[in-house]
Amino acid sequence: MAQGDQGYKRSWLAIGIATIVMMISYSSLLVAIVAAQSDTPEASGPAFAVGFSLVPLVFLAVAFMSGKQGAPIATLKAMGVWLLIALPLGLFNPVFGLCAGFGMGGVLTLRARETDRWKSRALGVLAASLYSLAMLFIVPAIGLISGGLLPLAVLGLVDYYSDNRAASASSAP
């Protein structure tokens, strides 16, 4: 098996497991936001606690499972970026803020290969976040689901595209 294939499998395994944890965190945070607007706002506390406590685990899973060098530091940086992005953008729209926050944290924690560019990853996260935001107004159910599924998956897709583009450029005469 080629080394590149092993790197892809490792990255996608990290993305898959972290997405499961992220969906639990994302859903709990959205439930907390909805509960805070209801007749019993005290019900939002436990949901918020569960959602917020799982955020670092998402980044830990991505960093350690993908084989990122300096995974603990990358996880701390990702958590800081998540706070700086998810909270302010979440005031505008919670789905957009959480999607962008988790995605940019993933940019920092997913192991990069020589063909991966952080700018391409960031643009992919922006596209996924804007897609989720647009879908909230067109088909709300798809917008809610895509906000939790796309942030990390788009990183794997962008890396795959970058590798294929680099391979076709190197094989061209």
Closest-CA residue to 153 (of 16, 44, 33, 41): 16
pLDDT at 168: 74
CB of 142 within 8 A of CB of 135?
yes
Cα→Cα distances 69→55, 63, 74, 101, 156, Å: 20, 8, 8, 21, 18
Tens of pLDDT, residue by residue over 95-141, are 999 999 999 999 999 988 766 678 889 999 999 999 999 999 999 99
Residue 143: per-residue pLDDT:
93
